[in-house]
């Protein structure tokens, strides 16, 4: 049942560590299905300058004192706590018009994003406070001057202005990378569904997991909030392009060069390949995907399919198939288990969509669905914001404008024909930048031509076919590891994308200086920095004893022809350069038979490994392996192994150690260079 109080509750904002109501009664928010009042929203009386200052001065320093791994563990604990309360969120979500599956995308999709960033943070980031970006840049021939790009948390606050359609996911997908980066946030949800965002923030605050000042909430108008943003702050916006452009050109944002990212209107497309005729598996998958994207969240998704582009010869069959499928979708009260599509978020939103449908009919005709007469299986058609799915057809899309300019933000799509792949690409491009387009084909040549032609105009392109049908996450699902955003009309911003999203809240800085000093800043040893040879083999040291810069230089090992032949026989690698003197000399890179590269790596391990049980528990990888100088029979190999980086794991008895490994020959030339990755016990010998 819908969760609506007998009297609408006044929503509160969470500012400077306290919950507060606006000074006025505010605007009434209504249940999308019944029209009954749900809450009152108002933000008058909030000191926005003080709120921003509180986040910068209280939340920012607290987050920056934590390492990446500590912040990742915080996200994991937060996700677990919210997951335990998910049914409370589901109960209130029906008031937004969302069915249970719709709410799953919003609620568990948002919580899942927290989990994903928690996992990625522990796996992909070091347990440190500074993130390295790229390789060391050598700036002098004598090795006394080098540079390293680093990323550090911006020392401002992130202001997240979110849309009404995903009050949970839209908030959490931005908060996850923000908090992991070490930056506090103020969240301003769209008023229409702010009651659900407020409930989630209440439960976040209840956990006590976030440092004070790390998260604040504004329910209601943002007032003069943006007047007070500064050069270290970040502003993100999700909503209409018109509003986004106004915010982007706000004097404080322009004057202070505030980092700004926008996700706006997007006329996403789905293209049916020329090979996908009626009866082909891809045709059926296409029909299912278009129908799903039209009806999921009642089409109120920034990634929903607005333009359906299909071979002209297949359009009649496509319209028939889509019309039949859409007619079977039960529309009604989202609390009804038999309902598969709920209402729009409000009656005002329904009238907005109806007006945009009218705009579209200047170039297209309605071929399925009646926007004026919703057919319900439950609920009140007048009290609720119900609208049946509406399908239009534009016969001459190359000459049309409205179908490429107007977005009806609801269950509305327009079918348009094409004759060649080039025409399909042109039609997609007319959307002037979108979040996502999907291509349904089983032909590699068609896939290549369409995707390469469309890619510059999109943040994401999904290819659907029979092989990926069961595992595909679908056209409309933004994923934590993939970029969510798009060029041009879509706003020009990027969110998510794994660690790309985290970097948005950090500052990239090139640090130049003597290698030892740069290494002291980064926490990672580099060529030219001081090294120590403590006498004891570094592999005998636990993390508590090991230090960055600890180094061992091994004895030498002479490579023989017998070594090369034995390795070839033992491994089966009988490549001619190792076995045939004449053929090897004919190779422009060699002067005769050479040792296998992996033989060199194996011999190097034999030189630097301390074989006794001890703190080193396992070798789990090699990074950046390069073979730089050929090794011939008679060459003497030597290894210099240096502790490069130490990253202890939280809540574990071991950590990762990165070792710089440089293999040289008797002339001092480097024959191989790589990083060895090991697991090392924090204390003791590692023996049980």
The dihedral sign for the CA sequence 324, 325, 328, 333: negative
Q: What residues contact 63, with CB distance under 8 A and at least 6 apart? A: 71, 153, 179, 182, 183, 184, 211, 214
Q: What residues contact 83, with CB distance under 8 A and at least 6 apart? A: 108, 111
Q: Find out whether 60 and 153 touch, Cβ atoms under 8 Å.
A: yes
User: Cβ–Cβ contacts within 10 Å for residue 224, how many?
Assistant: 12
Cα separations (Å) of 166 from 59, 102, 143, 232, 345? Answer: 26, 9, 53, 27, 11
The partner residues of 10 in beta bridges, in order of sequence, read 40
Catalytic residue among 30, 219, 302, 394: 302
Give CA–CA dist 669/680, Å, rounded.
30
Give CA–CA dist 426/397, Å, rounded.
10
Q: Which of 477, 453, 483 is nearest to 464 (CA)?
A: 477
Cα separations (Å) of 95 from 8, 100, 204, 339, 398? Answer: 12, 11, 21, 14, 41
Q: Which of 383, 328, 320 is nearest to 350 (CA)?
A: 383
The partner residues of 405 in beta bridges, in order of sequence, read none
Q: Calculate Rg over the CA atoms of the chain.
A: 30
Q: Is residue 594 helix, strand or coil?
A: coil
The dihedral sign for the CA sequence 440, 308, 244, 42: negative
H helices, E strands: number in the chain: 21, 27
Give CA–CA dist 584/588, Å, rounded.
8
Q: Find out whether 359 and 367 touch, Cβ atoms under 8 Å.
A: no
Q: Where are the beta strands (DSSP E) in 582-669?
A: 616-627, 636-648, 654-664
User: Cβ–Cβ contacts within 10 Å for residue 425, how many?
Assistant: 20
Query: Does the active-site annotation cover 302?
Result: yes
Q: Find out whether 434 and 493 touch, Cβ atoms under 8 Å.
A: no
Give CA–CA dist 667/676, Å, rounded.
24
Q: What residues contact 93, with CB distance under 8 A and at least 6 apart? A: 102, 103, 106, 107, 168, 196
Classify residue 564 by its DSSP letter.
Answer: H
Q: Which of 49, 26, 51, 50 is nearest to 39 (CA)?
A: 26
Give CA–CA dist 457/427, Å, rounded.
12
Give CA–CA dist 401/406, Å, rounded.
8
Q: The tokens of 544 are what? A: 């508590």
Query: Does the active-site annotation cover 263?
Result: yes
Place of tokens 């956990």: 207
Catalytic residue among 198, 263, 293, 656: 263
Task: Tell how strand 259-263 and strand 458-464 pair up.
Answer: unpaired
Give CA–CA dist 408/354, Å, rounded.
8
Give the chain's largest Cα–Cα span. Answer: 92
Give CA–CA dist 303/282, Å, rounded.
20
Q: Find out whether 216 and 16 touch, Cβ atoms under 8 Å.
A: yes
Catalytic residue positions?
263, 302
């Amino acid at each position: 049942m819908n969760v609506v109080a007998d009297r609408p509750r006044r929503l509160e904002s969470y500012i400077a560590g306290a919950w507060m109501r606006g000074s006025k009664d505010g605007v009434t928010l209504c249940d999308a299905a019944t029209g009954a009042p749900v809450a009152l929203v108002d933000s008058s009386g909030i000191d926005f300058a003080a709120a921003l200052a509180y986040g910068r001065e209280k939340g920012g320093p607290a987050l920056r004192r934590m390492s990446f791994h500590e912040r990742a563990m915080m996200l994991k604990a937060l996700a677990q706590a919210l997951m335990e309360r998910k049914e409370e969120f589901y109960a209130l979500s029906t008031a937004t018009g969302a069915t249970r599956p719709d709410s799953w995308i919003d609620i568990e999709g948002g919580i899942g994003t927290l989990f994903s960033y928690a996992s990625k943070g522990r796996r992909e980031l070091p347990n440190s406070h500074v993130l390295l970006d790229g390789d060391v840049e050598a700036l002098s021939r004598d090795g006394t001057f080098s540079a390293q790009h680093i990323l550090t948390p911006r020392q401002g606050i992130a202001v997240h202005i979110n849309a009404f359609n995903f009050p949970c996911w839209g908030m959490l997908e931005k908060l996850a990378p923000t908090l992991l980066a070490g930056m506090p946030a103020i969240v301003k949800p769209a008023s229409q569904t702010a009651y659900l965002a407020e409930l989630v923030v209440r439960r976040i605050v209840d956990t006590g997991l976030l440092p004070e000042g790390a998260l604040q909430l504004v329910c209601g108008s943002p007032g003069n909030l943006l007047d007070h943003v500064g050069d270290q702050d970040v502003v993100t916006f999700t909503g209409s392009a018109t509003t986004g452009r106004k915010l982007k050109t706000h004097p404080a944002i322009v004057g202070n060069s505030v980092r700004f990212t926008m996700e706006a209107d997007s006329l996403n497309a789905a293209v049916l390949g020329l090979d996908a005729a009626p009866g082909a598996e891809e045709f059926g998958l296409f029909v299912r995907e278009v129908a799903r994207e039209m009806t999921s969240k009642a089409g109120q998704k920034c990634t929903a399919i607005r333009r359906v582009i299909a071979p002209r010869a297949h359009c009649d069959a496509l319209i028939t198939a889509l019309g039949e499928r859409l007619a079977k979708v039960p529309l009604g009260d989202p609390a009804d288990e038999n309902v598969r599509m709920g209402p729009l978020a409000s009656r005002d939103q329904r009238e907005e969509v109806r007006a945009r449908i009218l705009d579209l009919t200047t170039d297209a005709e309605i071929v399925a669905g009646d926007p004026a007469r919703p057919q319900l299986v439950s609920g009140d058609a007048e009290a609720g914001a119900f609208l049946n799915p509406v399908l239009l057809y534009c016969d001459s899309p190359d000459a049309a404008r409205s179908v490429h300019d107007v977005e009806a933000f609801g269950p509305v799509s327009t079918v348009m024909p094409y004759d060649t792949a080039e025409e399909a690409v042109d039609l997609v491009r007319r959307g002037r930048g979108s979040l996502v387009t999907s291509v349904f084909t089983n032909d590699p040549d068609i896939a290549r031509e369409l995707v390469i032609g469309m890619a510059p105009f999109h943040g994401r392109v999904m290819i659907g076919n029979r092989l990926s049908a069961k595992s595909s996450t679908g056209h409309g699902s933004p994923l934590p590891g993939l970029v969510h955003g798009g060029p041009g009309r879509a706003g020009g911003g990027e969110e998510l994308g794994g660690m790309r999203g985290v970097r948005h809240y950090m500052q990239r800085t090139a640090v130049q200086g003597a290698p030892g000093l740069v290494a002291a800043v980064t926490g990672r040893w580099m060529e030219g920095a001081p090294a120590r040879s403590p006498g004891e083999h570094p592999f005998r040291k636990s993390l508590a004893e090991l230090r960055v810069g600890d180094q061992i230089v091994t004895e030498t090992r002479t490579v023989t022809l017998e070594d090369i032949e034995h390795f070839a026989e033992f491994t089966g690698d009988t490549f001619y350069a190792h076995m045939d003197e004449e053929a090897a000399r004919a190779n422009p890179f060699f002067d005769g038979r050479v040792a296998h590269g992996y033989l060199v790596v194996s011999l190097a391990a034999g030189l630097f490994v301390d074989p006794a049980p001890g703190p080193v528990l396992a070798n789990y990888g090699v990074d950046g392996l390069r073979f730089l100088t050929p090794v011939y029979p008679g060459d003497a190999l030597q290894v210099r192994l240096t502790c490069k980086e130490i990253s202890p794991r939280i809540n574990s008895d071991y950590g990762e150690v990165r070792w710089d490994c440089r293999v040289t020959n008797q002339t001092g030339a480097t024959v191989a260079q790589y990083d060895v990755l090991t697991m090392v016990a924090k204390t003791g010998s590692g023996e049980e």
